[in-house]
Structure 1
Amino acid sequence: MNKPTKRSLKMRFQTKINHGDHTDSYEFTTRGELFHKGNQDYLRFQETLSETESVQTTMKWDGRELMLIRQGSVLMRQGFIVGEETLGRYVTPDASWETTAITDKLLVQWPSGKSRGRIQLTYKFALQGQDTGTHQVRLTLEEDTINE
């Protein structure tokens, strides 16, 4: 059985949410790891929400669907497939909501050699049937050669 090869990455995560005439932006940089298991690629990183709350985020890519899995003070599972509506779930300590995403754009390019990788995702998102706007997510991925 092949052991998955892990690659350390530096990454920049940017989110822009357009809802009517209002736009929210969120950005952070972190380190993560990229590995291949079976016929899927996994990107895993830690997201800090506050001084006491963090979330382990995993993005699983099979060539067609990008699955977002968040575990920690927030639990979330949401798939993204271009042109399709996908169901998911968002859970906090206080409540659990059904989510839906309609994906307009999905691009996944892993870093290779000296070239950077990127993930671009644009989708319309609803929480318990309520429209939360159009979300644009950009991840810039770069091999982290410091740890090797």
Structure 2
Amino acid sequence: MNKPTKRTVKMIFQNKIQHDDHTDSYEFTTRGELYHKGNQDYLRFEEALTETESVQTTMKWDGRELMLIRQGTVLMRQAFISGEESLGRYVTPDASWETKAVTDKVLVTWPTRKQRGKIHIKYRFLLQGQDAGQHEVRLTLEEDH
């Protein structure tokens, strides 16, 4: 059995949320691990929420579905498939909500030695049936040598 080869990547994570006439956006830079296991590719990184709270984020890609798994102060599991709706869950220490993503676009390109990779997800997000806006997530990935 082959052991998955892990590569360290530098990444820029950008999120833009359009809700009614209001736009929120945030960006952070971090390092992550990219590896292949079975028929899927995984990207794992840590997201700092505050100085004391963080979330371990894993993105699992099988060529069609991008599964977002966040574990830590916030627990979240949400699938994204271009042109489809998918159910998920968002859990905080105080509450648990059903989520739904109506995904317009999922684009995944892994980095190579010479080229940057990217993940681009565009979706309408619903939390417990309530519209939580149009989300656009962009990750720029670069091999860290």
Question: How does the TM-score come out when normalised to structure 1?
Answer: 0.97
Matched with 1:37 is 37
Matched with 1:54 is 54
Partner Cα separation in structure 2 for residue 104 and residue 27 of structure 1: 21
Structure 1 residues 78-97: Cα deviation after superposition (integer angstroms, max 9, x where no partner): 00001111000000000000
Residue 105 of structure 1 deviates from its aligned partner by 0.8
Which runs of 5 or more structure 1 residues have no equivalent in the other structure?
none
Query: How does 1:41-120 map onto structure 2 within 5 Å?
Result: 41-120=41-120
Q: Runs in 1 of length 4+ with deviation above 2 angstroms?
A: none
Partner Cα separation in structure 1 for residue 91 and residue 78 of structure 2: 12
Question: How does the TM-score come out when normalised to structure 2?
Answer: 0.99
Which runs of 5 or more structure 2 residues have no equivalent in the other structure?
none
Partner Cα separation in structure 2 for residue 26 and residue 105 of structure 1: 20
1:136 to 2:113 alignment: no
Once superposed, what is the RMSD of the aligned Cα atoms?
A: 0.4
Partner Cα separation in structure 2 for residue 48 and residue 113 of structure 1: 28
Residue 68 of structure 1 deviates from its aligned partner by 0.0
Structure 1 residues 24-73: Cα deviation after superposition (integer angstroms, max 9, x where no partner): 00100000000000000000000000011000000000000000000000
